[in-house]
Structure 1
Amino acid sequence: MNIALGLCLLVLTVAVQQVSALECYHCYTGCDDPFSVNGVSKTDCNGSCTKTEKDGKAARNCFPIVQKNSCEEAAGVNVCYCTGELCNGASERYLSRVSIVVTIACVCMSVFKHIF
């Protein structure tokens, strides 16, 4: 049983290290809504993805600090932060890598519980 638990923890550790960076859309022009990913670059981010809007114009980028999924408005500028993979794109929902890792962990624990 200790070997199975150790193996599961090793897999989870490797998986979590792989999801430490997320990918965000990166654009300052041509990224207004409705948003099209065609021709828009992506960037690796160790914080949160952002979408900033002012006067109907949008910019999408990475913010170097992890922020909770939220939006703030001040002086006519609306800034939204998110922590999912390519979450600063269209309003579609994306399954984040963290959600995938948590699901795998739950399945591993359930399987090992029934085996031993």
Structure 2
Amino acid sequence: MKAFIAIVFIAAFIDFGNAISCYDCVGTGSSDCGDPFSGSSSVKQTDCSSSPLYENKCWKTTGSNGLISRSCSTLGVCSLLGNGCETSGGESVCCCDGNLCNSASTTGISYVTFASLIIASFLGMM
């Protein structure tokens, strides 16, 4: 019985590599694609495994002109950036790896980043 519970517990944390879907739209603050995001049924959803040019991550970009784009990440971009947001010159790119995760106004910090910060803080106290 203990072995069964251990297997179920471990299986809960395994990533089986399923493809994710992302919102796919372009717009401004007042459109269905803008912020705050409505997530209405008129906003297209794309399966990230549908093209070899996509990676299995979503992104949201915001231009300095206020134009917002949401879609599957172009191959390699979010792998380099990781989960979270990068801002430069009034433009931002936010990456995430959950199903339809590019609906948020901002993307939260990843668990790996959070754990790294905790460990670094702990090591700094030693």
TM-score by length of 1: 0.58
The list of structure 1 runs, each at least 4 consecutive aligned residues, that deviate by more than 2 angstroms after superposition, is: 64-68, 90-93
Amino acid at match of 1:59: S
Match of 1:85 in 2: 99
- Pairing 1:1-116 to 2, within 5 Å after superposition: 16-17=15-16, 19-29=17-27, 30=31, 31-38=33-40, 39-45=42-48, 46-54=55-63, 55-63=65-73, 64-65=75-76, 66=79, 68-91=82-105
| Counterpart Cα distance in 2 of 1:92 and 1:80 | 7
| Counterpart Cα distance in 1 of 2:89 and 2:105 | 24
- Is contact 1:68-1:83 (8 Å) kept? no
| Counterpart Cα distance in 2 of 1:52 and 1:89 | 11
C-alpha root-mean-square deviation of aligned residues, in Å?
3.3
- SS of the counterpart of 1:21? coil
The structure-2 alpha-carbon separation of the partners of 1:28 and 1:49, relative to structure 1 and needing over 3 Å to count, comes to same
The structure-2 alpha-carbon separation of the partners of 1:71 and 1:16, relative to structure 1 and needing over 3 Å to count, comes to closer
Amino acid at match of 2:60: K
Matched-pair identity in %: 40
Q: Unpaired runs of 5+ in structure 1?
A: 94-116
- SS of the counterpart of 1:27? strand
Amino acid at match of 2:85: C
Deviation per CA, 1:82-112: give whole Å up to 9, x if none.
001110003599xxxxxxxxxxxxxxxxxxx
- Is contact 2:36-2:105 (8 Å) kept? no
TM-score by length of 2: 0.54
